[in-house]
Structure 1
Amino acid sequence: MQQIRRFQRFLVGAALALAGVLSGCGGAAPEQAVRAQLQALQQAIDARDAGAVEDLMAEDFVGNDGMDRRATKQLAAGVFLRYRDVGAKLGPVEVELRGDDAAIARFDVLATGGSGGVLPDSGQVYRLETGWRRVDGEWKLLNAGWKQRM
């Protein structure tokens, strides 16, 4: 049971971390850039690339329980090895701009994982609030908080 909970927490962390995949979005309007990065989230998770988890967050990223970018990468690598199928399905996204170089995005995510059967072995819905900042023209994930939905 504890492994399933760690796995679910990882999916949330990976979803948040990988939301920064579109590094070329710096020239787009801030809201569009954040939304585009979140759209790339599912593709990045499907690619199962733990290195992208670390590379695409701000150097000073902080998540729940003090999870930093290195810890997120390590957890991602472990989960990708353990589960053949990993998924994150995003719900509607609210973007709140804080000037031209900062934003907050809020959304629900269904995090799933399994061994490759028809149905996932586990799944949970989380509410996420993510902070974004533009660094050298690239949007980076600065912080993330998540809680399990009942």
Structure 2
Amino acid sequence: MAGRAASCGLVLALLLLGGCGRESAEQRLRAQVAQMQEALAERRPGDFMEAVAEDFTGTQGMDRAALHNLLRAQLLANARMGATLGPLDVQLREDTATVAFTVVLTGGNQRLLPERMQSYRVTSGWRDQGGQWRVYYAEWKPQ
């Protein structure tokens, strides 16, 4: 029994130490995109917007406030929302990055199948601000 407890302790220590390594810029960026996707699924628009830069510009000149309003309106109109992302194409430069991907957005009112669905091709610009990736530009086109 003591040998098993020691083995479990060793495995736990290795897992904790493995998590202590510094994440690469790309890993942090991918994690930020995943957190935004999770915030949308969990209906937390404020958490989603934390990763959006103050000087954000989007499709058709949309600014940060307009993006926030669009997000809140969609959450009000849909009891359930989902965002399924395709593979991320990440292009890193020094402290900026471009991330391109396809996303399928779904929405509806608590039924088993979504009532609305649309696919978009998204190209986004990101900058690293003090270790936090923030999206400062996004363009999306229906597919």
**For this pair of structures, how many residues does the alignment match?**
122
Structure 1 runs of 4+ aligned residues shifted over 3 Å read: none
**More relative contact order, 1 or 2 (CA 8 Å, 6+ apart):** 1
Residue in structure 2 matched with residue 58 of structure 1 by the alignment:
53
Which one-letter code corresponds to 1:116 in the other structure? Q
Contact 1:97/1:104, CA 8 A, preserved across alignment: yes
Structure 1, unaligned stretches of length 5 or more?
A: 1-26
Residue in structure 2 matched with residue 38 of structure 1 by the alignment:
33
Shift of residue 136, structure 1, vs aligned partner: 2.0
Shift of residue 143, structure 1, vs aligned partner: 0.4
Does 2:26 match 1:28?
Answer: no
Residue in structure 2 matched with residue 131 of structure 1 by the alignment:
125
Shift of residue 35, structure 1, vs aligned partner: 1.1
Could you tell me how far apart the structure 2 residues matched to 1:70 and 1:110 are? 23
- String of CA shifts for 1:44-85, please: whole Å, max 9, x gaps: 111212223433211101110111111111121122112100
Does 2:64 match 1:73?
Answer: no
Give the direction of change, closer, same or farther, for the CA distance of 1:78–1:51 in structure 2 (3 Å limit): same
Which one-letter code corresponds to 1:38 in the other structure? V
Superposition pairs of residues 43-122 of structure 1, within 5 angstroms = 43-99=38-94, 101-122=95-116
Contact 1:53/1:76, CA 8 A, preserved across alignment: no
Which one-letter code corresponds to 1:110 in the other structure? V
Larger radius of gyration: 2
Does 2:142 match 1:148?
Answer: yes
Other structure's SS at 2:124 match: strand
Structure 2, unaligned stretches of length 5 or more?
A: 1-21
What TM-score do you get using the length of structure 1 for normalisation?
A: 0.76
Could you tell me how far apart the structure 1 residues matched to 2:127 and 2:39 are? 20
More displaced, 74-83 or 117-126?
74-83
Could you tell me how far apart the structure 2 residues matched to 1:81 and 1:148 are? 22
Contact 2:39/2:45, CA 8 A, preserved across alignment: no
What CA RMSD, in Å, does the superposition of the two structures yield over aligned residues?
Answer: 1.3
